Amino acid sequence: MRKESTLLLSSIGQLLTLRSASGKHGPRRGPELKQLSIIEDGAVLCLGGKIVSVGTTKDALRDPWLKKNRKKVLEIDCAGKVVLPGFVDSHTHPVFVSPRLVDFEKRIEGASYEEIAKAGGGIRVSLEGVRKAGKRILVEKVLAALRDMAAHGTTTVEAKSGYGLTVESELKSLEAIREAGSLWAGTVVATLLGAHVVPKEFQGRSQNYVESVCKEMIPKAARRKLAQFVDVFCDDGAFTAAETEQIFEAAAQHGLSVRAHMGQLSEAVLRPFLRFDPASFDHMDYVNDDDILQLSKHDTVATLVPGANYFLGLKKYPPARKLIDAGVPVALATDYNPGTSPTLSMPMAMSLACTHMKMSPAETITASTINGAWALRLADRKGTIEAGKDADLAVFAVADYREIAYWFGDNRCAMTVMNGTVASEP
Ligand code: NIG
Ligand code: FE
């Protein structure tokens, strides 16, 4: 890993800047998702971790400052490759110890995710490993995931707790996220998902568990600045709408923003939650027309995670076309987790979005960069290649950006730059 104060990427075949063509503020909607603002034979100059200029290679090489300081600059000849903003993976669950292979086999034999969870499998199986693990192990697990994500082009990651579900192990998970993030050159945003499911020891007493989330986990995480967001799995077998509201109230009282898993297994009514100004509703397999209309008027992002549908072997995917065509801002994320989506590849999520949700390759790029940044409230720093933004770049060894989603199951990412640091080189 190299920290270079000045970095020039030149001879970029297609430089996808994602600069807004309309100049409008806000997450990208409808036809805006297709606008990538591409510069051919492009160049990007970065200084002190920020992007300072973006244009053609010819113009960059004519720059008087660059001519004078050329020796101090690390120049990377991209030789016609594609460069785009580093992916913003706005939904991941990296704090777990083991894969859930028994669940995997049971599903292959015909059991559904819900049936496995009811029979004692599912999320609850992952709790033991995290509760028992020392923090060091968890830091190692998260850091390994972050490094692998960077190797696939991701430079900003939202990371949730949610496999401890005791006050102590949720805080330990958030600490592990913080420590791993401090050892990684990219940017990590932490989310408290204490409300993932009701753990066994609280079975039949979900209200007591919700109280522990609201009165202990949230205040402690907020006081120690361990999380920026609070998430709730609001669905059958997890938390009800009333419990979700209660948790959102507690988050708001403690100055934390909210996001939620919504409509993964059954339809939720989203409208009442909009007063909390959620950054994102995630999954959205089941969503009603009134809520689609509401979301088209709000900046709450619909984050779609097709990796979960793929891995659960579902035929149905979230209605991306309907959402996009109605003007709802859509993001894509991996949902990296051991139960429903053990992938950390954003290109894989993009490929699934193309083939199963009929998003165009261009739409998947916008959904994985600037709209992911909106879903994390980081759009002022991340998600486009523009002067003043963080130097977060992904270089793909392809000649055309559409190949990123096309070569599925393969990693064509050649290099990432995270906050100005060259993380992985060809
Ligand atoms: O996003 N739905 C809730 N959480 C995860 C699954 C967690 C698990 O099964 O371990 C998801 O799909
Ligand atoms: Fe999730």
- The CATH number of residue 399's host domain is 2.30.40.10
Q: Are residues 71 and 106 in the same domain?
A: no
Using CB distances shorter than 6 Å, the residues near ligand 1 are: 122-123, 126, 233, 261, 264, 308, 335, 337-340
Query: ∠ at Cα 322 (316, 326), nearest 5°?
Result: 160
Tell whether 108 and 242 lie within a shared domain: yes
In the predicted model, what is the mean pLDDT of residues 349-377? 98
CA dist 321 and 3 (Å) reads 41
Minimal-distance CA residue to ligand 1 atom 12 = 340
In terms of domains, do 98 and 223 share one? yes
pLDDT band at 322, cuts 50/70/90? Answer: very high
Q: Are residues 343 and 398 in the same domain?
A: no
pTM listed for this prediction: 0.98
**What is the tens place of the pLDDT at every residue in 178-228?**
999 999 999 999 999 999 999 999 999 999 999 999 999 999 999 999 999
Q: Which atom of ligand 1 is nearest to the CA of 113?
A: 9
Cα 264 to ligand 2 centroid, rounded to whole Å: 9
Is residue 289 helix, strand or coil?
helix
- The CATH number covering residue 323 comes to 3.20.20.140
Range of the domain at 340: 87-375
Do residues 234 and 338 share a domain? Answer: yes
Q: Are residues 184 and 130 in the same domain?
A: yes
Query: For ligand 1, atom 7, which residue shows the shortest CA distance?
Result: 339
In whole angstroms, give the CA distance from residue 308 to residue 296: 24
Residue 169 shares a structural domain with residue 74: no
pLDDT score at 426: 46
Identify whether residues 60 and 97 lie together within a single domain: no
**What is the percent of the chain with per-residue pLDDT over 90, rounded to a whole number?**
97
CA-closest residue to ligand 1 atom 1? 335
Confidence of residue 5 (pLDDT cuts 50, 70, 90): confident
Question: Number of C-alpha atoms within 13 angstroms, CB side, residue 18?
Answer: 30
SS3 at position 337: strand
Q: Which ligand is nearest to the CA of 262?
A: 1
Q: What is the tens place of the pLDDT at every residue in 276-317?
A: 999 999 999 999 999 999 999 999 999 999 999 999 999 999
The answer to whether residue 122 scores a pLDDT higher than 50 is yes
Sign of the C-alpha dihedral computed for residues 81, 86, 91 and 96 taken in this order:
positive
Residue found by looking up tokens 């987790």 in the block: 337
Kindly state the helix (H) or strand (E) to which residue 197 belongs, with its residue range.
none
Number of neighbouring beta carbons within 10 Å of residue 224: 12
Which letter, b or e, does each residue of 166-175 get, where b requires 16 or more Cβ atoms within 10 Å of its Cβ? bbebbbbbbb
**106 pLDDT above the threshold of 50:** yes
Same domain, 178 and 148: yes
pLDDT band of 425, cuts 50, 70, 90: low
Same domain? 236 vs 309: yes
Q: Which atom of ligand 1 is nearest to the CA of 264?
A: 2
Q: CB neighbours of 307 closer than 8 A, spacing ≥ 6?
A: 334, 335, 336, 340, 341, 343, 348, 349, 352
Query: Residue 243 — φ and ψ, nearest 5°?
Result: -65, -40
Q: Check whether residue 78 and residue 100 sit in a common domain.
A: no
Within this chain, do residues 414 and 316 fall inside the same structural domain, yes or no? no
| DSSP 8-class letter at 330 | E
